[in-house]
Amino acid sequence: MGLNYQIPREKCFCLQCGNQLNLGDGRQDRKFCSVACKNKYHNAGRQMLSRHYKNKVIRILDNNNFILRRLLSMGVTSLDINTLRQMQFNFDFSSSYHKIGRRQLYTCFDVQYELTPTRIMNIRDLLERNI
């Protein structure tokens, strides 16, 4: 026989706005004072999940950009894919992709590179001025 610690229903409050619920009408187990509060509560949860996913993608892109910029600072413009994977580069994320003929051009913010089955090549800074 377990203990039953239920909150007295006459003391329940809306999960969104905090107003006391009028339990005289409708369902006795409701959690919101109105449809508007219910929608606002659930929409906020979806926005938080969306924001979390966006932040995760930006962190991955930032890491990829950092790796590419570090390679450029060392004068490296071509590298084996396996070596890049060991550096924690994530090939599933880029900020844009263009296919020109047989060439596959990717950018990660302001760094562009060409991807082949075994290498990334022609790594270049798109903001660097050619004088």
Tens digit of each residue's pLDDT, the chain (131 residues)? 455 555 555 578 888 888 888 777 677 788 888 889 888 888 887 787 788 889 999 999 999 999 999 999 999 999 999 999 999 999 999 999 999 998 999 999 999 999 999 999 999 999 986 54
Task: Give a yes or no: residue 116 inside a domain.
Answer: yes
Task: Give a yes or no: residue 56 inside a domain.
Answer: yes
Backbone angles phi, psi at 121, to 5 degrees: -135, 170
pLDDT of res. 44: 82
Task: Give a yes or no: residue 37 inside a domain.
Answer: no
DSSP assignment string, 52-119? HHHHHHHHHHHHHHHHHHHHHHTT---EEHHHHHHTT--TT--SEEEEETTEEEEEETTEEEEE-SSE
Task: Give a yes or no: residue 105 inside a domain.
Answer: yes
Task: Give a yes or no: residue 48 inside a domain.
Answer: yes
Using left for φ > 0, alpha for ψ between -120 and 50, and beta otherwise, residue 31 falls in: alpha
Task: Give a yes or no: residue 94 inside a domain.
Answer: yes
pLDDT of res. 24: 72
pLDDT of res. 77: 95
Name the 3-class secondary structure at 131. Answer: coil
- Residue owning tokens 């930006």: 58
Task: Give a yes or no: residue 33 inside a domain.
Answer: no
pLDDT of res. 131: 45
Total domain count, the chain: 1
Task: Give a yes or no: residue 71 inside a domain.
Answer: yes
> Which domain covers residue 93, as residue numbers?
42-125
| Distance from C-alpha of 36 to C-alpha of 65, rounded to nearest angstrom | 43
Q: Which of 46, 47, 69 is nearest to 127 (CA)?
A: 69
pLDDT of res. 114: 96
pLDDT of res. 129: 67
